[in-house]
């Protein structure tokens, strides 16, 4: 036994170096397709890289030209604003708050009822993004279900995608993403011991008081992590907006990813496009660092 | 008083939840009804007669079928690659005391949350440069790399809960490290592996952005792109076919989701294995 034990130890030691080989496939893939492009983003954003025109033949470093151009570009400013509006309303107010409210209301309800409601909301989440786009284009079209519904309430039909394009994409994104927050909050709320709330109730605390000073503080960590995760994933939303409005009408729903796409792949200004992605990446990196900080304090 | 207000509150909750569920259901219901309606319109309507012609039109179109196979190929290859590569990477991260393990894991966690949308422009440039453009293999590899950070992170955590003594007894019996991983560790964390695999497949199947930008030839486009093009050219006219296409296209992920719930509910009772 003793010999076997020491043999195992020797094996573990000698294999430590060898087992670094296990990391090589990941490292190669990550270097070529993840870290490499990120470094390139940084480099390209200081060049006049383009697919067509004179710049296509002679790519040069242009210093901060892309960035000065960007900050003077009204379309860039609009898309930053649109991104903020989109993320705030669809991720923070929409998905997180609605997800929390649904999870909260579902607590201690009939199991079958919970299952059916949960299934419907999750079905929206499982549906592929492109399909979500179509469903909502049809739903919000002039003769669509939305206008039929508000017609029942006595309102005149609305050209949703033209008159309220931002509202439309926000609603669609809330529809698609709420399930995630709901599931996260459901498991967090289920972990709160029943006794804690009951004890507070016995002490005469009002319902509102229990929610604000017991329930919410107890899931504070979950709220923070979920908020960051949802913000990060909403920041990169491209497909949903692209299929629904294409960033239009005009630039009304052009968020940073759409703006980046237009500059890089429609106008073929790759240098300018990468400068925009660098901004997007920087916002993402900051949000990601905050998220990691929250995780650390939580664990 | 308290009892009564509690009851009213419960009633209100039921009411709000029921209305919300209905609102969430309507767009999906439209898709279901439109797909079997011979005269589907934009508005939700119970069809007067039921037809399967919309579905037939989609599954008999060789171009669309081809795109389904390509999508399946990309997503399946990506899922398998991600699982193999991340299990390999997770092993030393979980088992050995390495100098840089902590900073490596922190970097991985940081990478999981970066918006991948942002790197597509330089990736496109890289593909042009390396003549990877329009290559299904390169697209699959790029997608694999982009899902590696979260996969490594998750699998490493799953692996941490597989006890080391089982593996050690295999070593005593003369198994190599790789054999230990394949025969002891991997089978014990199968639920975790399936979760990561299914998650990767689902994400890849629904990914429209990456193939849309990195591929050019129409014949190489996966279903996520052809459905978008179909929408652009026929969608506004033929809602029934579009709905049928959408349903067929959504099927694999819906089924996989249901399957993954099975795995999740079985739980991870791996701790007990070493005692038994």
Which chain A residues are Cβ-neighbours of B231 within 8 angstroms? 130, 134, 243
Exposed e or buried b for every residue in B178-190, given b needs 16+ CB within 10 A? Answer: eebbeebbbebbe
Q: What is the C-alpha to C-alpha distance for residues B105 and B88, in angstroms, rounded to an integer?
A: 15
A287 at interface of B, judged by CB pairs closer than 8 A: yes
- State both tokens at B137: 């293999």
CA distance to partner chain A, nearest, from residue B68 (Å): 14
- Fold of domain A68-298: MetI-like fold (1.10.3720)
Q: Give the SS3 label for residue A50.
A: coil
- The predicted pLDDT at position A76 comes to 92
List the single best residue of B2, B6, B122 to mutate versus A (max A Cβ within 10 A): B122
Domain map of chain A by residue range? Answer: 68-298
Q: Note the maximum CA span of chain A.
A: 86
B107 at interface of A, judged by CB pairs closer than 8 A: no
pTM of the model: 0.87
Q: What is the DSSP string of B206-264?
A: T--HHHHHH---GGG--HHHHHHHHIIIIITT-HHHHHHHHHHHHHHHHHHHHHHHHHH
Structure confidence at residue B129 as a pLDDT band (50, 70, 90): confident
pLDDT above 60: residue B130: yes
pLDDT above 90: residue B205: yes
Average pLDDT over residues B222-237: 82
Asked if the peptide bond before residue A164 counts as cis, ω within 30 degrees of 0, the response is no
Q: ipTM for the complex?
A: 0.86
For CA atoms A65, A68, A72, A78, the dihedral sign is: positive
For CA atoms A31, A66, A250, A168, the dihedral sign is: positive
Q: How many beta-carbon pairs below 8 A join chains A and B? A: 250
CA distance to partner chain A, nearest, from residue B260 (Å): 12
Structure confidence at residue B1 as a pLDDT band (50, 70, 90): very low
Record: contact B208-A257, CB cut-off 8 A: no
CA distance to partner chain A, nearest, from residue B24 (Å): 6
DSSP code of residue A87: I
8 Å CB contact between B9 and B212:
no
For CA atoms A150, A153, A157, A163, the dihedral sign is: negative
Q: What is the C-alpha to C-alpha distance for residues A274 and B145, in angstroms, rounded to an integer?
A: 20
**Residue among B161, B195, B185, B144 nearest B269 (CA):** B161
Which residues of chain A, if any, have pLDDT below 50?
Answer: 1-2, 13, 299
Neighbour tally for A174: CB within 10 Å:
21
Q: Which residue of A has its CA nearest to B25?
A: A120
8 Å CB contact between A243 and A135:
no
Is the model more confident about B174 or about B98? Answer: B174
- State both tokens at A231: 């913000």
What average pLDDT does chain B have? Answer: 85
Which chain A residues are Cβ-neighbours of B34 within 8 angstroms? 138
Q: Alpha helix locations (H) across B37-183? A: 53-59, 62-95, 101-112, 120-129, 136-160, 164-172, 177-180
Distances from the Cα of B68 to the Cα of B71, B142, B146, B180, B247, angstroms = 5, 20, 22, 37, 13
Which chain B residues are Cβ-neighbours of A180 within 8 angstroms? none
Domains (range + CATH), chain B: 1-51 (no CATH), 53-274 (1.10.3720.10)
Record: contact B117-A236, CB cut-off 8 A: yes
Query: Mean pLDDT lowest for which of A91-95, A135-139, B115-119, B246-250?
Result: B115-119
CA distance to partner chain B, nearest, from residue A101 (Å): 10
- State both tokens at A208: 């509102």
Average pLDDT over residues B35-42: 83
8 Å CB contact between A18 and B177:
yes
Structure confidence at residue B125 as a pLDDT band (50, 70, 90): confident
Which chain B residues are Cβ-neighbours of A106 within 8 angstroms? 17
Is the model more confident about A11 or about B219? Answer: B219
A151 at interface of B, judged by CB pairs closer than 8 A: no
CA distance to partner chain A, nearest, from residue B272 (Å): 23
Record: contact B30-A291, CB cut-off 8 A: no
Chain center to CA of B28: 20
């Amino acid at each position: 036994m003793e010999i076997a034990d020491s043999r195992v130890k020797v094996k573990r030691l000698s294999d430590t170096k060898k087992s670094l080989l296990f990391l090589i496939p990941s490292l190669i893939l990550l270097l070529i397709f993840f870290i490499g492009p990120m470094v390139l983003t940084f480099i390209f954003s200081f060049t006049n890289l383009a697919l067509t025109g004179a710049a296509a033949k002679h790519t040069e470093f242009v210093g901060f030209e892309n960035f000065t151009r960007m900050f003077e570009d009204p379309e860039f400013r609009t898309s930053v604003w649109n991104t903020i509006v989109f993320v705030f309303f669809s991720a923070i107010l929409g998905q997180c708050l609605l997800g929390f409210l649904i999870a909260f209301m579902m607590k201690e309800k009939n199991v079958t009822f919970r299952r059916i409601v949960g299934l419907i909301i999750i079905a929206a989440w499982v549906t592929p993004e492109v399909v979500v786009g179509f469903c909502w284009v049809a739903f919000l079209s002039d003769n669509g279900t939305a206008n039929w519904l508000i017609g029942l309430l006595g309102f005149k039909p609305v050209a949703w995608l033209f008159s309220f394009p931002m509202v439309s994409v926000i609603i669609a994104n809330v529809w698609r993403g709420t399930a995630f927050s709901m599931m996260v909050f459901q498991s967090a709320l289920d972990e709160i011991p029943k006794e804690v709330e009951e004890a507070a109730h016995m002490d005469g605390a009002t319902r509102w008081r229990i929610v604000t000073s017991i329930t919410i503080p107890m899931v504070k960590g979950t709220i923070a992590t979920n908020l960051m995760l949802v913000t990060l994933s909403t920041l990169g939303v491209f497909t949903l907006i692209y299929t629904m409005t294409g960033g239009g009408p005009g630039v009304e729903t052009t968020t940073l990813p759409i703006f980046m796409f237009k500059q890089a792949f429609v106008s073929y200004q790759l240098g300018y496009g990468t400068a925009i992605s660098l901004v997007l990446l920087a916002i993402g990196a900051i949000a990601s660092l905050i998220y990691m900080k929250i995780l650390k304090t939580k664990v | 008083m308290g009892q009564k207000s509690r009851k009213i509150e419960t009633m209100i909750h039921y009411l709000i939840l029921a209305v919300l569920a209905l609102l969430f259901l309507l767009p999906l219901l439209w898709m279901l009804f439109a797909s079997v309606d011979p005269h589907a319109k934009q508005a939700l309507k119970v069809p007067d007669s039921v037809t399967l012609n919309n579905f037939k039109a989609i599954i008999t179109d060789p171009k669309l079928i081809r795109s389904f196979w390509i999508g399946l190929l990309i997503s399946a290859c990506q899922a398998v690659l991600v699982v193999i590569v991340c299990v390999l990477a997770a092993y030393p991260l979980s088992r050995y005391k390495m100098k840089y393990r902590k900073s490596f894991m922190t970097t991985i966690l940081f990478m999981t949350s970066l918006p991948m949308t942002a790197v597509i422009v330089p990736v496109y440039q890289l593909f042009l440069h390396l003549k990877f453009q329009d290559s299904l293999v390169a697209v699959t590899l790029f997608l694999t790399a982009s899902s590696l950070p979260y996969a490594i992170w998750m699998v490493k955590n799953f692996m941490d809960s597989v006890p080391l003594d089982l593996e050690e007894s295999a070593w005593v019996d003369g198994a190599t490290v790789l054999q230990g991983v394949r025969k002891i560790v991997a089978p014990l964390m199968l639920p975790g592996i399936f979760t990561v695999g299914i998650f990767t497949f689902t994400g890849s199947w629904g990914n429209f952005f990456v193939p849309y930008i990195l591929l050019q030839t129409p014949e190489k486009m996966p279903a996520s792109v052809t459905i978008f093009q179909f929408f652009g050219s026929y969608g506004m006219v033929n809602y029934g076919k579009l709905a049928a296409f959408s349903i067929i296209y959504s099927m694999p992920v819906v089924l996989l989701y249901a399957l993954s719930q099975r795995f999740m509910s079985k739980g991870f009772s791996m701790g007990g294995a070493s005692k038994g």
